[in-house]
Amino acid sequence: MHSLMILMALVLAWGIRLSFPLSLFPWINRWQRSLVYFLIPPLLLLMTAIAVILMGYHGEMLGWPASRFSYLLSIIFVSFALIKWIQLTYQGWYSTQQIQNYPQKIIKGYTARILDTTFPYSAQIGFWQPELVVSQGLLDTLDNAHLNAVIAHEQAHANYHDTFWFFWLGWLGRITFWLPYTETLWQDLLLLREIRADHQATQEVDPLILAESLLIVAQEINKISTLNPLGVVEAAFHDINTANRLNERIEALFDESDNLGFDNFDGRFMLLTLLPLFSIPFHC
């Protein structure tokens, strides 16, 4: 029966991903759509594996005997997930330790670590309370108005705790890299993360100034890519992975809608991932 549970979870996870619409949704629906399709399959598989481990390989479930194979398979998957979590946690910790070597400076009212490079670069580095990192190249490249726009964008990342939440999303993506559209959805979420930060920044700065800042930094994107990335706890203004989707960020900047859908996530979809845990009482 446990093997059947695992098979059903796999079929459902693949089915959800294969039903992923490739056409772009309107902004107001896109955030929830991408989160739901990205989150539910890995969480469903993880909860199924945990349920099987908790029930063990002895006894029966609804008259069907438990099996060592399903138990062992679940142990392997959860162990793999745990190893990936340890790896990512260490990478994140190492990144936060690296930036402690950078000198600090007050930039537009915010304490920032200054990276000694000519490339224009800014990012939030850390977990729940990240630190702002700004390169000397960015300070030399941008005037006060454009620098204000970049700092406002980075502060939006901090307000949303993007480095923390995307650390966990990145972990789920890595343990289910083999599911369909994992990379496509991940890249879309990265883009939407930047659009959300842009949208909040426009509450403080002119969207045109922020768009100009994007274009200025984009001109140096190839040079920036030679930097050593600071990894899984980085939310950067330039976002190398989505630089080729700059037009979408600029388009969203000038969208006149007051709500782009970032506050519309309906958590009831997540209840589906808890279904395997409700099967535990039926094991005896």
pLDDT over threshold 60, residue 63: no
Average pLDDT (49-71) is 73
The yes-or-no verdict on residue 242 having pLDDT over 60 is no
Q: Kindly state the average pLDDT of the residues 141-170.
A: 93
The pLDDT score that the predictor gives to residue 11 is 92
Residue 280 has pLDDT above 80, yes or no: no
pLDDT greater at residue 155 or residue 20: 155
The confidence band for 69, taking pLDDT boundaries of 50, 70 and 90, is confident
47 has pLDDT over 60: yes
The whole-number pLDDT of residue 60 equals: 61
**Better pLDDT: 104 or 225:** 104
DSSP string, the chain: -HHHHHHHHHHHHHHHHHT---SPPPHHHHHHHHHHHHHHHHHHHHHHHHHHHHH-SSSEETTEEP-HHHHHHHHHHHHHHHHHHHHHHHHHHHHHHHHTTSPEEEETTEEEEEE--SS--EEEESSSS-EEEEEHHHHHHS-HHHHHHHHHHHHHHHHHTHHHHHHHHHHHHHHTTTSTTHHHHHHHHHHHHHHHHHHHHTTTS-HHHHHHHHHHHHTTHHHHTTSPP-GGGEEESS-GGGGGGHHHHHHHHT---S--STT---GGGGGGGGGGGGGGGGB-
CA angle 254, 258, 260 (to 5 degrees): 75
For the record, the structure tokens of 89 come out as 């946690």
At residue 223, the pLDDT reads: 57
pLDDT band at 26 (very low <50, low <70, confident <90, very high): low
Averaged over 139-164, what is the pLDDT? 93
The pLDDT confidence band at residue 273, using thresholds 50, 70 and 90, is: confident
Separation between Cα atoms, residue 130 and residue 107, nearest integer Å: 16
What integer pLDDT is reported at residue 245 of this predicted model? 77
What is the rounded average pLDDT of the residues 206-224?
Answer: 81
pLDDT of 66: 60
- What does the pLDDT read at residue 270? 79
What would the pLDDT profile of 188-206 be if each residue is shown by its tens digit?
Answer: 999 999 999 999 999 899 9
Question: What rounded mean pLDDT belongs to the chain?
Answer: 83
Supply the pLDDT for residue 227.
54
